[in-house]
A and B are shown apart, each in its own frame.
Chain A
Amino acid sequence: MSKDNNIAIKVDNVTKSFKVFYDKPSTLKERLVFWNKKKVDERVVLKNINVDINKGETVALIGTNGSGKSTLLKLMTQIIYPTKGKIKTWGKLTSLLELGAGFHPDFTGRENIYFNASIFGLTRKEINERLDQIIEFSELGELIDNPVRTYSSGQYMRLAFSVAINVNAEILLIDEILAVGDQHFQDKCFAKLHELKDSGKTIVIVSHSMESIKNLCDRAIWIYEGEVREDGKVNDVVKDYIKVCG
């Protein structure tokens, strides 16, 4: 497909800016009445980002709130599109930006596994193959046949995480969702991520937990005010980051 066969994600000179409307005209009347006094600011969130992520790499994106790391992750997922530049990905990609997307509270856990996994692009056959694995990982046991609205928030997240992690994509994009469930389940999630990493998956993760990043990732990219400030070995980048922002 490409000459860069080794690359999983290629971010090529990407700039993303959002329009900030002070009074966003969302109705026709407002658009017609205020057409000439629209107050629009362009806020540039990412500036000329160039990042190549190789296959099999585990990369952390770090930075303070509002630095643009989540936006970069969303761009990689193709939820939003860059204002300038290009993003290309090779391989099946799953994003865990939000857990439980498409859950319907009135349906049972089992039915919701089908809904949720289908959003990730799995076919029925693929879901059937993974069903037992997902249920076992969630540790919900018999609760799986109860409507999701009866779940506690922890159980809800456990089910959602179990689906997302078992989708079996080649590239995983994860945004701050590792604070799932109790200590025991968190440990299990990390063990699973290590397992995925060892099996050669590409993982990009946004997190503020430096300990878990150092533990899991090889490489870290520090995003500072929309630009790449440092890109390198995880220990070095984290050390510098803590020096400045810690």
Chain B
Amino acid sequence: MINRIYRYREFLKTNVKKDIRGKYKGSFLGVLWSFINPLLMALVYAIVFPFILKNSQSNYVTFIVIGILPWTFLTTVIQQGTFCIIANGGIIKKVYFPREILPISVATSGLVNFFIALPIIILFCVFSGLGLSWYALLFPLIALTQYILLLGIIFISSAINVYIRDVEYIIQFMVNMLFYGTPVLYSATLFPAKYRWILNLNPMTTLINSYRDIFYYQKFPDFTMLGIVFACSALLLFIGINVFKKLERRFAEEV
């Protein structure tokens, strides 16, 4: 499989490019929107939430920005990814190519967008007075773990969505719900220690905690938890690829 995908690497590359550039074609600000969107979201939360939630967090805006960007990475990849086979029905019916390329390119363009948005985090860290530490160099490692996790999810969701279109809406609801079950707007320590394990069942908790550790608290992330999440994500990816392989045989007839 890796061999086949390698042969079609140019297709993967142009697909990613098309995703990133094509999305904003015709808009004045172009790629800048991938900065502005999460930034505006973060600002809205930063203005609204201190009124509702009593939070003791200093530098709350920076705190939120570090959480929002990985979360945007997740939502865009899952939304586009679940839909990606159906969206490309036209070429699936007409041309042979390794179908795996489609979810892979969605996840990869999400990852590239995430890296493009990284300067926002850095700017916030620097200008809020938190500064930047060497721990920030661990960023690619955490981002890669998230990439593998998302890839595993969309391999499964995109393939099933071809047969049962409800998956799209179920997933959308789950993502919306999960937003509140992930410490994006609040700190995980707000949860009573007794119930924190529930929060930890969510892999995004560990990932966002890790991003916060390296940027906000400037310390090593919890490598045990990160390792567990990495292992689970890799397992999920393995399962996802196999589910996808089973289901892809009738894609051209079903989309």
Contact = CB atoms under 8 A, between A and B. Distances in A.
A31 B164 contact: yes
A124 B10 contact: yes
Given A26-B164, A106-B25, A98 B14 contact: no
Given A27-B165, A28-B166, A95-B96, A115 B252 contact: no
Contacts of B91: 101-102, 119
Interface string B83-101: 0000000111111110000
Interface stretch (A2-10, A74-82, A193-201, A212-220): A74-82
Majority SS of interface residues in chain B? Answer: helix
A27 B162 CA distance: 10
B209 to A, nearest CB: 34
Query: Residue among B11, B25, B95 with the most chain A CB within 10 A?
Result: B95
B219 interface: no
Contacts of A97: 94-95
A29 B166 contact: yes
B22 interface: yes
Interface string A1-43: 0000000000000000010000000111101000000000000
A78 B96 contact: yes
B7 interface: yes
A114 B18 CA distance: 11
Given A29-B166, A121-B97, A124-B10, A18 B25 contact: no
B252 A80 contact: yes
Interface in A48-83: 74, 77-81
Given A29-B166, A106-B22, A115-B18, A79 B95 contact: yes
A181 B166 CA distance: 42
A122 interface: yes
A46 to B, nearest CB: 14
Query: Residue among B94, B97, B164 with the most chain A CB within 10 A?
Result: B94
Interface residues of A, number: 32
B26 interface: yes
B249 interface: yes
Contacts of B14: 114-115, 118
B25 A79 contact: no
Contact of B95 (A28, A31, A102, A106): A102
Nearest to A175: B94
Contacts of B22: 104, 106-107
A121 B8 contact: yes
Interface in B95-131: 95-97
Contacts of B252: 74, 79-80
A28 B169 CA distance: 11
A101 B93 CA distance: 10
Interface in A121-160: 121-124, 127
A77 B163 CA distance: 22
B196 interface: no
Given A98-B95, A101-B90, A101-B95, A121 B164 contact: no
Given A27-B166, A31-B164, A93-B96, A127 B253 contact: no
Given A107-B18, A122-B10, A127-B10, 7 more contacts: A29-B166, A80-B250, A98-B94, A101-B95, A118-B13, A121-B10, A121-B97
Q: Which 3 interchain pairs have the tightest Cβ spacing?
A: A98-B94, A28-B166, A118-B11
Interface of B: 7-11, 13-15, 18, 22, 25-26, 90-97, 163-166, 249-250, 252-253
